[in-house]
Structure 1
Amino acid sequence: MTRTDQTAGEQPRRQALLEVLRTSDTPLGVTQLADRLRIHPNTVRFHLDALVRDALIDRRLEQPTGPGRPRTVYTPHPGMDRGGQRQYHLLAKILLGQLSTDPDAGGAAEAAGRTWGGHLVDQVAPTRQPGVAEATHRLTAMMTDLGFAPEPEGDPAERIRLRHCPFLELAEEYSSTLCPLHLGLMRGALTAIRAPITATSLEPFAERDACIAHLSPTRAHPPQTANRSA
């Protein structure tokens, strides 16, 4: 049995413990929980420890009403249940659908990407400016962290192959909005680190297995040429 299978098998019992605690008017101890669920106290302790680690329940010592050691009791952690499914894909689809109704959806998406690109890239000290190689490295590091599997091509890099899209299904449906956002991420990152290059364009699905981002020197930093004697 794999660890994933084992964890999945433990979930019903932990959910049962949670339900008992949530429906109880008073905190409950291990023995009470074991009696109600008809399982061994050691099994109860194991699952309670996991629920405490996941911040789903709270553990505390109950003040004794007579002689003896204080009893450890458990209560559900206040707040909404953090278990269950997430629907982030649906949320992204709703937001992209709404954004795509904007007359300049691509421009709005790129502007949002620029803001986040400047925030996500590894910054450089304000007293210096990175060269082309360092700027490309910082850009590809950011895109790697985001899951794009970038491959710079050329020396210096003139384009970057993006071999994986972390939003592939959404990009196939909303490429006119999502792809400008990706381009904005790259432009924002390069602007934030004062790079001597910029991302000029992004070709969605330019190859069967990749999108292509094109890079070029900024106007303020034209490519250097070797000095030639007269």
Structure 2
Amino acid sequence: MTTPPPLRRSGTRRAEILRTLRDAGGPLGIAEIAQRVGVHLNTVRFHLDALVAAGTVERTRAELRAPGRPPQLYRAAPRMDPAGPRHYRVLAEALVAALAAEADPVGRATEAGRAWGRREASGLAADQADVDASVSADESTELLVGMLDDLGFAPERDQSGAPSRIGLRSCPFLELAVDHAEVVCPVHLGMMQGAMSTWRSPISVDRLDRFVEPDLCLVHLGGVGGTRAS
């Protein structure tokens, strides 16, 4: 009994079509692509539509040399594949290691976080109010909770009679925070301080207690008149 050939995954076939276009040296029509790859025309059309939608292939037209509509051709877009593999954690680990090797890793990490927080807060303020205007304690706290939620920290306002605390139930950088808390957690603290400073909030972010419980970090807020981060 003859064993059938293994089925090709669509991603593999799609990559083969893209490679064919890159190696062609010029635009190709659907029939020529199908012939070179060895598949049906409809299969080529299906994968070309996906590649065009992903931005890795472009449609073009042949030069008109006779009456009639010029045939549609395809070429590989002159860009890196936006759907290619990503290894941001490797980059993050390298940056964390570089910060940890600094003479003042906590200070440098906190300053990096403040710069990040200022960028995040400027966008939120532009959406909701004048960037140059200060916001109230309640408004800025709500903005902070919303920003933390958007970033994946799963924040919770403390319901135990301590309104000056925010619980963080998730960490979008958990593996790094566990292995390099001395650097990653100051980045988070600085990010919150930078945001409050940008909003000109009367509330300060004084401290971040990491992993007070296995699933909880605590943010401590200072009241009106407290020391504000700059």
Contact between 2:113 and 2:189, CA under 8 Å: does it hold in 1?
yes
Q: Which residue of 2 aligns with 1:3?
A: none
Counterpart code for 1:27: P
Q: Which residue of 2 aligns with 1:150?
A: 155
Post-superposition CA distance 1:8-46 (Å, at most 9, x none): 932111111011111113321011111222222122112
Contact between 1:158 and 1:216, CA under 8 Å: does it hold in 2?
yes
Deviation at 1:76, TM superposition (A): 0.9
The alignment status of 1:214 with 2:228, answered yes or no, reads no
Q: Which residue of 2 aligns with 1:89?
A: 89
Post-superposition CA distance 1:132-174 (Å, at most 9, x none): 2211100001111110000011577210100000000000111
Counterpart code for 2:114: R
Counterpart code for 2:153: F
TM-score after normalising by structure 1: 0.86
Q: Which has the higher mean CA deviation after the structures are superposed, 162-171 or 56-65?
A: 56-65
Q: Which residue of 1 aligns with 2:4?
A: none
Deviation at 1:69, TM superposition (A): 2.9
Query: Matched residues in 2 for 1:104 and 1:127: separation?
Result: 32
Contact between 2:133 and 2:199, CA under 8 Å: does it hold in 1?
no
Contact between 1:18 and 1:76, CA under 8 Å: does it hold in 2?
yes
Q: Which residue of 1 aligns with 2:3?
A: none
Structure 1: 5+ residue runs without aligned partners? 1-7, 222-230
Residue among 165, 171, 178 paired with 2:171: 165
Query: Matched residues in 2 for 1:105 and 1:187: separation?
Result: 17
Counterpart code for 2:165: R
Q: Which residue of 1 aligns with 2:103?
A: 103
Against the structure 1 CA distance between its residues 63 and 87, is the aligned structure 2 distance closer, same or farther, given a 3 Å change threshold? same
Q: Which residue of 2 aligns with 1:200?
A: 206
Number of residue equivalences: 214
Contact between 2:56 and 2:79, CA under 8 Å: does it hold in 1?
no
Deviation at 1:82, TM superposition (A): 3.5
Contact between 1:132 and 1:156, CA under 8 Å: does it hold in 2?
no
Contact between 1:187 and 1:199, CA under 8 Å: does it hold in 2?
yes
Q: Which residue of 1 aligns with 2:54?
A: 54
Counterpart code for 2:19: E
Contact between 1:133 and 1:156, CA under 8 Å: does it hold in 2?
no
Counterpart code for 1:164: S
Query: Matched residues in 1 for 2:199 and 2:162: separation?
Result: 17
Post-superposition CA distance 1:49-94 (Å, at most 9, x none): 1111111111111013334431111111113334432111000000
Query: Matched residues in 2 for 1:126 and 1:91: separation?
Result: 32
Query: Matched residues in 2 for 1:220 and 1:103: separation?
Result: 29
Deviation at 1:47, TM superposition (A): 1.0
Q: Which residue of 2 aligns with 1:140?
A: 145
Q: Which residue of 1 aligns with 2:70?
A: 70
TM-score after normalising by structure 2: 0.86
Contact between 1:116 and 1:185, CA under 8 Å: does it hold in 2?
yes
Counterpart code for 1:144: D
Structure 2: 5+ residue runs without aligned partners? 1-7
Instruction: Give the fraction of aligned pairs with identical amino acids, expressed as a percent.
Output: 40
Counterpart code for 2:148: M
Q: 3-state SS of the aligned residue for 1:73?
A: strand
Query: Matched residues in 2 for 1:164 and 1:60: separation?
Result: 47
For the aligned residue pairs, the C-alpha RMSD in angstroms reads: 2.0
Contact between 2:137 and 2:224, CA under 8 Å: does it hold in 1?
no
